[in-house]
Structure formats: structure tokens, C-alpha cells
């Protein structure tokens, strides 16, 4: 009798132990080839998700225990699952507006440029400002457009259309009339107003000169801005982007969307460096935010862009020997703003494209870090396109993050050598050299300037084949990187660049369940095939926000 009782107790004990060891079921279990982004476990087969976070990740056998009666099970026997892509440099609201503006990016001739503007003008009421465009004069040989090209087809519409790099814009005569600008207008520091041989305005305004027009353009309505934000979030979700670093953020719009529970993309909101005190005061009163909307970054400028001949170089442009670019802000002002913002514990990220601009900024960063003392500051250089060879190692040495956009490389590569010559392009978009030196590049798009397509960016970084297919083995091929490095730059490194590495950028236990499903395995296909890959699903917070039909 005693033996029977002991046996019964033993069986009950074992049964209760088994029941107790079985974990609570997951809401969702997702399986497939998973690249986790975690160096300690790069690949997995399955992950369990609950309450927007990853409960566990590992082999299928390890995760099966989380499947209950109500668990949603999603199996992807083909393709690849990765952490959600983080676009570390966008102009998000402008990108949303661009989706419905005149489309000039691929206009190949002056005639096509004019015709598209004329056709668009016919679709909007008289008096409506025609903006956006994203034209590229290099498509037709490098001749800058003039207001004379479009005046006759836009007599009833003010026009302010921007080159795709955002560093010069064209106004028609109607726009100049409305904002009160005539030939008597003078150049401004850090900008240029282009004139013809007779001193007349061509309508082209470069960099800081553009503010002369923009500050007089009527502001968009709150409703228009809200619609643009929703359009932007839908568009990036279709392309696998789950977080963006908005380097021209409008806090009011994001706060409104947050209050209305309308944010569908995670936002790192970055405001203007010169107004750092406003951000500092806001954070003191309201904190830095949460996992959906986070504040703490400041964006400034050193120079302009290569395509506008306003990126600042040590030596003149090869095709314009009298010109070496522009410094948009005095060095003393940059130092003052950066030092003050850094002292307040804010993150600083500055646009620098030419080798002189990058060198100037690295020097300021080094000085500020020395003067202000050690802290986890994560200075960033936005774009970091044309680095002097001696400055490459300084990124890792100073823990400066190069925030780069690989799509620009396969775009600019069509004509960059004409502008800066064969020697300077050797360290242009120096992805491999930066990785090899120990730096941690973060990738993004610069949308609206380039499309927010991480898969296209990975293709660009891995192949460096220019958009015109004139470089089949890659433009500056010694700077190609691996698929894993490119994925890392779009996930883990980009998350670190926004101080969110404890929440996003990897698929690991207790991380947010932000991930994408790609229709093919980027590790097993030919590099040229990457650009044909498609996002099948995008998940944020453990829920699908995009599913391809």
C-alpha cells in the first residue's frame, strides 16, 4: 500500500512538473530561415512572439513548446526573415508629399522635363504651388534648367521644383513674382543664386539661397501634413522599413499622430542643430519619448552636395577648376552649436559630403569630445561620401558613426569621376574601408532624395553596379561589402546609431518583434539578383503592417 502510494505521488509529481515547465503559449510563431542580426547566434529557424516582443528564438524543436490552441503559426520554407530595416536618414514628411508631386527623377531630356511639368500643371487648380520634382540635370548632359524653359507652360502656377539631392531648386517667374525676388537680390552666405550672362536670374537657387524663396511659400495645412505622413508610413512599410530616423522632423505632427494612435512606423525625430536649446527644453519637460516616437537628435550642415557642385573639397572640382564647393555654416558656429548640444547630452549628426567638409567635422568632433569629456555620445556624419584616405581610420578611433546611403553610390557613380577625377573616387562611398577599420556604418536612403528601398541599397553596397549598367563589375569595386555587412548596416548598426539597440535591430529574446519576410534568400542567390527580391511581409510589434498580395 505504501509502495503504491509512493508511486502515485511520484507520477503526480512528474506530471505537475511537466505542466509547470510548459510555458505560456505565444500569440504567434514564425518559422523559416531567420537571419537574426545577433553575432552570438546569426541564424535561427523559429521565433515565438507575445505582446509585441520575442519570447524566444532558436530551432523549430525549441520553439514548438510555445504553440498553443490559439497561436498563429506562420511557416516560410523559402526566402529569408530578417530584422525590420531601419532607415537611418530620411526626410519623412517631404517624402510623403513627393509621392503625389510632379515626377521628374527619370526625365531624360529638357523636353521631357518641360512636358511633365506642363502635364502636371493641367491637373491642379490655377495658383497651386507646383513643388517636388526631384530632377537631375545630369540625365541630359549637365545643363541646368532655367525658368525660361517652363514659364510659358506654368503661367498660372508658381513653381518651386528641387533637384533630387535637395541642394538646388528652380523657381519660375510666377514664383519669383509672388515671393518678391528680382535681379537686385544678393547672394547669401553658404548659398548661390545662378544668373545668366546678362545678370538675369535663371531661377536656380543653391543651398542657403533657397531659403529666400522657401520662407515665403505658404505652409501646408495640418490635414495635408497628416495625409503625407500616412502615405509615407504606408510606402516604407511596403519596402520593409520599420523604423526611420527623420532628420527634418516636425515634432507637432508626430505628437498628433501619437496621440491619435496613428503611428505605424517607429520614429527617431531629429530637429535642427542651431535650435538645440528648443529640443533640450522639450526633453526636460516631456522626456525623450518611447519605443514609437523618440527625441534626442540634432541635424546640421557643413556643406552642400556633389551634383550641385556645393560639396566642399580641399581641391577644386575637375570640371570647374575655379570652384571647390561651399561651407554652409562658419566653422565657429558649428563648433559652438555642437559643443553646446553635446554638453546637454544630445546626439549630433551633421551632413558632410566633400573631403574638406568631412575633415572639418571630424576635427570639431574630436575637439568637443576632448573638451567635454567621455560619454556615450555617438556623433554621426551624415553621407560621409568622399573621405580623404587619412580620415577613414578616424571614424572608428573617435567612435563617429558614418550614416551612409548606398543607393547614392550607384546613382552618383554614373558621373562622379567627371566632377572630382579618378584619384578622389578611390575612397568614395568607402564602405569596405570603413568596415575594415572598425567603424560601424549605418545605412539609409536619404528619401526623398533617393527611394527608401533597403533591398536596392543592399544591392548597391554589394555590387556597386551603377544605374546605367556601365560598371558590371562595380564602380570602385574595392569598396564592395558582403550581404551580411550590408544587412548589419541596415539593422543592428542603424539601431545603434539611434540609441535603440536594446529594442530593435536584432531578433533576440525580449527585443521588439519588428521583422520582414523576403521572397528569396539573399545569402544564396547571385548578388545581381538582390535587386529583384521583394518584401512579402513587414511586421511591427508582432503584427503584420504589410502583406504583398
Give the CATH number, domain containing residue 47.
2.30.40.10
Please state, in angstroms and rounded to a whole number, the distance separating the CA atoms of residues 331 and 135: 31
Do 58 and 125 fall into the same domain? no
Instruction: Render pLDDT for 160-170 as a digit per residue (tens, 0 to 9).
Output: 999 988 889 99
- Taking the chain, what is the end-to-end CA distance rounded to the nearest angstrom? 66
Do 48 and 121 lie in one domain? The reply is no
For residues 200 and 173, give the distance between their C-alpha atoms in angstroms, rounded to a whole number.
Answer: 11
Asked if residue 210 and residue 150 are part of one domain, the reply reads yes
Verify that 78 and 109 share a domain, yes or no. Answer: no
Residue 392 lies in a domain: no
Please name every residue paired with 74 in a beta bridge, in sequence order, or none if there are none: 30
Has residue 460 got a pLDDT over 90?
Answer: yes
- State how far the Cα of 497 lies from the Cα of 515, in Å rounded to an integer: 18
pLDDT at 46 over 80: yes
Q: Are residues 104 and 77 in the same domain?
A: no
Residue 79 shares a structural domain with residue 142: no
User: Is position 140 within any domain?
Assistant: yes
Q: pTM score, two decimals?
A: 0.89
Q: Structurally, how many domains does the chain consist of?
A: 2
Question: Could you report the per-residue pLDDT of 206-254, keeping only the tens digit for each?
Answer: 999 999 999 999 989 999 999 999 999 999 999 999 999 999 999 999 9
> Is the pLDDT assigned to residue 128 strictly greater than 50?
yes
Region 5-17: mean pLDDT is 49
Residue 12: what pLDDT?
45
Domain residue limits at 74: 24-84+508-549
Inter-CA distances, 189 with 192, 193, 328, 335, Å: 8, 11, 7, 17
154 with 210, same domain: the answer is yes
- Each residue of 317-366: pLDDT tens digit? 999 999 999 999 999 999 999 999 999 999 999 999 999 999 999 999 99
Is 133 inside a domain boundary? yes
Percent over 90 (pLDDT), the chain: 91
pLDDT of residue 526: 97
Supply φ then ψ for residue 279, to 5 degrees: -65, -40
Query: Residue range 448-463: average pLDDT?
Result: 97
pLDDT of residue 21 exceeding 70: no
What is the enclosing helix (H) or strand (E) of 503? none
* Cell 527623377, located at residue: 105
In this prediction, residues 173-177 reach a mean pLDDT of 95
Question: Which of 214, 239, 258 marks a domain boundary?
Answer: 214
Residues 6+ apart with CB under 8 A from 16: none
pLDDT of 9 > 70? The answer is no
Examine the pLDDT at 547 and tell me if it is beyond 50: yes
Amino acid at each position: 500500500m505504501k509502495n503504491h502510494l509512493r508511486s502515485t505521488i511520484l507520477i503526480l509529481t512528474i506530471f505537475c512538473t511537466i505542466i509547470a515547465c510548459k510555458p505560456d503559449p505565444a500569440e504567434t510563431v514564425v518559422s523559416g530561415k531567420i537571419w537574426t542580426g545577433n553575432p552570438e547566434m546569426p541564424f535561427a529557424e523559429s521565433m515565438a512572439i507575445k505582446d509585441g516582443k520575442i519570447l524566444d528564438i532558436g530551432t523549430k524543436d525549441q520553439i514548438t513548446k510555445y504553440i498553443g490552441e490559439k497561436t498563429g503559426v506562420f511557416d516560410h520554407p523559402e526566402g529569408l526573415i530578417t530584422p525590420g530595416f531601419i532607415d537611418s536618414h530620411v526626410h519623412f514628411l517631404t517624402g510623403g508629399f513627393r509621392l503625389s508631386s510632379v515626377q521628374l527623377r527619370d526625365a531624360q531630356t529638357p523636353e521631357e522635363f518641360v512636358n511633365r511639368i506642363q502635364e502636371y500643371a493641367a491637373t491642379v487648380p490655377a495658383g497651386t504651388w507646383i513643388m517636388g520634382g526631384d530632377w537631375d540635370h545630369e540625365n541630359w548632359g549637365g545643363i541646368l534648367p532655367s525658368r525660361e524653359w517652363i514659364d510659358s507652360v506654368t503661367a498660372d502656377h508658381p513653381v518651386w521644383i528641387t533637384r533630387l539631392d535637395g541642394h538646388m531648386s528652380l523657381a519660375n517667374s510666377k514664383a519669383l513674382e509672388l515671393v518678391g525676388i528680382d535681379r537686385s537680390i544678393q547672394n547669401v552666405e553658404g548659398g548661390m543664386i545662378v544668373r545668366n550672362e546678362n545678370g538675369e536670374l535663371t531661377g536656380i537657387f543653391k543651398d542657403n539661397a533657397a531659403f529666400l524663396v522657401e520662407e515665403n511659400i505658404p505652409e501646408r495645412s495640418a490635414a495635408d501634413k497628416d495625409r503625407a505622413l500616412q502615405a509615407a508610413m504606408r510606402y516604407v512599410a511596403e519596402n520593409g522599413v520599420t523604423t526611420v530616423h527623420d532628420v527634418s522632423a516636425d515634432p507637432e505632427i508626430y505628437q498628433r499622430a501619437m496621440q491619435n494612435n496613428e503611428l505605424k512606423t517607429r520614429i527617431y525625430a531629429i530637429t535642427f542643430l542651431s535650435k538645440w536649446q528648443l529640443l533640450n527644453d522639450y526633453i526636460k519637460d516631456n522626456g525623450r519619448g518611447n519605443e514609437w516616437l523618440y527625441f534626442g537628435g540634432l541635424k546640421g550642415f557643413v556643406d552642400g552636395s556633389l551634383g550641385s557642385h556645393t560639396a566642399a573639397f580641399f581641391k577644386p572640382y575637375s570640371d570647374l577648376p575655379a570652384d571647390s564647393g561651399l561651407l554652409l555654416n562658419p566653422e565657429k558656429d558649428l563648433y559652438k552649436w555642437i559643443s553646446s548640444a553635446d554638453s546637454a547630452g544630445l546626439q549630433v549628426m551633421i551632413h558632410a559630403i566633400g573631403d574638406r567638409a568631412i575633415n572639418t567635422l571630424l576635427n570639431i568632433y574630436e575637439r568637443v569630445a576632448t573638451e567635454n569629456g567621455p560619454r556615450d555620445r555617438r556623433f554621426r556624419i551624415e553621407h560621409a561620401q568622399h573621405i580623404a584616405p587619412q580620415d577613414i581610420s578616424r571614424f572608428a578611433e573617435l567612435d563617429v558613426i558614418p550614416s551612409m546611403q548606398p543607393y547614392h553610390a550607384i546613382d552618383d557613380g554614373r558621373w562622379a569621376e567627371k566632377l572630382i577625377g579618378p584619384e578622389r573616387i578611390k575612397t568614395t562611398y568607402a564602405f569596405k574601408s570603413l568596415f575594415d577599420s572598425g567603424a560601424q556604418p549605418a545605412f539609409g536612403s536619404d528619401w526623398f532624395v533617393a527611394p527608401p528601398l533597403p533591398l536596392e541599397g543592399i544591392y548597391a553596397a554589394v555590387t556597386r553596379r551603377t544605374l546605367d549598367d556601365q560598371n558590371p563589375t562595380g564602380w570602385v569595386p574595392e569598396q564592395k561589402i558582403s550581404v551580411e555587412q550590408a544587412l548589419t548596416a541596415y539593422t543592428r548598426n542603424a539601431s545603434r546609431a539611434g540609441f535603440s539597440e536594446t529594442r530593435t535591430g536584432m531578433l533576440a529574446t525580449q527585443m521588439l518583434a519588428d521583422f520582414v519576410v523576403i521572397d528569396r534568400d539573399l545569402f544564396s542567390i547571385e548578388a545581381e539578383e538582390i535587386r529583384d527580391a521583394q518584401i512579402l511581409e513587414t511586421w511591427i510589434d508582432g503584427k503584420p503592417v504589410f502583406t504583398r498580395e
